[in-house]
Structure 1
């Protein structure tokens, strides 16, 4: 599985194993001029990792309503499906960036930055939800 934390300037990417329910941060992709994702780079990552499906974080407010960025995340998920053929699921990403920063501070390593760690948390959350 592969997960994306879609943001206004960057996209965090994580990969994981559904059998073990574990995930690892992979990389951060910068959005291109005009706010377009770098599709050739995304497609290369998908080809390299050969995931069975993708998870895209859906930005929600604490009351469950969709944030302004939600429309862009949904569009990204749709285009990801169209360009790669992957089944794409949306997953609530509330507080993932905050938790990502907490993990980075606790672990003492900021090697990946918060975006791929947020994608890791989204994927771990997806695994936990689908196992229940």
Structure 2
């Protein structure tokens, strides 16, 4: 059984998260520059078996596309081209940044750490991935 990678894609930074080997728990992995994310993922896939990738899809509160939606769709196409044997699932990412802030606050992170956008991106990716894992358990 391979791991599942969670991705919070942004045009500047990309937050990454990964499951444990049994695909039970998602944890933050890394924040990488958007232009380096494909090479980072290629290297990761060579080191670890990866079964799927979960990509956060940005939506407005009403469910319509945001300004960033087209960038995520383009990135999804790149993922599917680079990793044809790995499924790419889309997950609604509304409120994940807010939930990441609340999670870090509840976890006792200091204010400076909570303001680090890279940390927020990693935790957001973990929340996206964990929501995917939880949705599978209801199927």
1:88 corresponds in structure 2 to 88
Residues 50-86 of structure 1 show CA distances to partners (whole Å, capped at 9, x for unaligned) of 2100000000111111112111111111211211221
Q: Count residues in correspondence.
A: 128
Map 1:38-53 onto structure 2 (within 5 A).
38-53=37-52
1:31 corresponds in structure 2 to 34
1:107 corresponds in structure 2 to 107
TM-score calculated relative to the size of structure 1? 0.87
Distance 1:55 1:113 in 2: 18
Q: Describe the shift of the 1:99–1:73 C-alpha distance in structure 2 as closer, same or farther (beyond 3 A).
A: same
Larger Rg computed on CA atoms: 2
Residues 108-127 of structure 1 show CA distances to partners (whole Å, capped at 9, x for unaligned) of 23386111110000011111
**Aligned Cα root-mean-square deviation (Å):** 1.9
Distance 2:60 2:70 in 1: 13
Residues 88-117 of structure 1 show CA distances to partners (whole Å, capped at 9, x for unaligned) of 011100000111111112212338611111
TM-score calculated relative to the size of structure 2? 0.83
Unpaired stretches in structure 1, ≥5 consecutive residues? none
Distance 2:68 2:14 in 1: 13
